[in-house]
Structure 1
């Protein structure tokens, strides 16, 4: 998606898109009569572990992304575009977007696709196939694809290990929220040029 198109996205369509992913996932779960594990952890455990995992994942990926060979010009350009997108929203809007992405993408990818592919292919192949699909839909460049696939693999393994859909929803939402706030407010921490001073 081009930088100009990305900057023109407003809150309502972005929220509707993310939440429509949850509806697609729920429809798939219902249509294929999948038994989706959801509550392997308590609410408190899922929240604490999800927030910590989201923060740790962001630190690791930000560190990897700063490696000169890995953080290629194409990835830097895409992250710069995301900076332009993120700085157009207030902090509450970024929080809503992050929560919607966590719910929508995890219900679709882990709840529906991973559950179905694990039943069809077996545990590890199903997790890997889901992670690759997750990477493909986030594919802005080869480096971004690799990072998104790695994140999808981590989320998939965590979901398989804990049977907690809430854990991966919170993990994903926490990661997105911190990443978007950093992109909007502190892009220099990620090695990105601040295109315009912004206050949330």
Structure 2
């Protein structure tokens, strides 16, 4: 009994430590975004427009294609998808094991806000001035993919996701839309992952 309690306590501490590190990493990206914006004179003025009703509508509709990709990959038996699925099972699931619903929500929210603030709000917006919107979109998406390049397949998929999120920012003129889409996608994907199912990135 005592051994079970101590094992349970140590597992809880490990889970809390892992969750804290992941949240700290995402928040660190947010701080980096603010520092880069200050250093290079990137303004957030006008990046959060569009109104809440429009943001919610575009955000929910914009999540559908990414969730469709998730389901498509989940149903695929292609060799590269199976390899990616094995990588997720071996290396990613252990990182999130034991994280509860509130932890999943916080991780998805912090990733959606902080990663979009950095890659779309600062990098893509900042590069659009000297290079134009389309080269900026491509460069920011490649950097987004490189930041997630745990495997070549994961790099390609996250680069495509970065292109899509960047296009949403261009089309809607609001950083809030890709933030919401990123958050909703991560929330669903993480919840699915932690239910023990096979899952895409």
TM-score (norm 2): 0.82
More helix by share: 2
1:50-69 aligned at under 5 Å gives the runs: 50-64=59-73, 66-69=75-78
**Unaligned stretches of 5+ in structure 2?**
1-14
Judged with a 3 Å threshold, the aligned counterparts in structure 2 of structure 1 residues 76 and 8 are, in CA distance, closer, same or farther, namely farther
Does the CA contact (< 8 Å) of 1:86 and 1:181 recur in 2?
Answer: no
Structure having the higher Rg: 2
Aligned counterparts of 2:30 and 2:174: Cα–Cα separation in 1: 16
Task: Please say which of residues 174-183 and 66-75 is displaced more in the overlay.
Answer: 66-75
Number of equivalent positions: 185
- Cα deviations across residues 74-124 of structure 1 (Å, max 9, x unaligned)? 312222132333332000110001000111100100011001111121111
User: Which residue of 1 is the match for residue 175 of structure 2?
Assistant: 165
User: Which residue of 2 is the match for residue 12 of structure 1?
Assistant: 20
SS in 1 for 2:194: helix
1:3-42 aligned at under 5 Å gives the runs: 10-36=18-44, 37-42=46-51
Judged with a 3 Å threshold, the aligned counterparts in structure 2 of structure 1 residues 87 and 51 are, in CA distance, closer, same or farther, namely farther
Matched, 1:92 2:127: no
Tell me which of 175, 178, 190 is aligned to 1:180.
190
1:131-142 aligned at under 5 Å gives the runs: 131-142=141-152
Aligned counterparts of 2:82 and 2:127: Cα–Cα separation in 1: 35
SS in 2 for 1:131: helix
Q: C-alpha root-mean-square deviation of aligned residues, in Å?
A: 2.2
**Unaligned stretches of 5+ in structure 1?**
1-6, 192-200
Tell me which of 141, 145, 153 is aligned to 2:155.
145
Q: CA deviation at 1:14?
A: 1.3
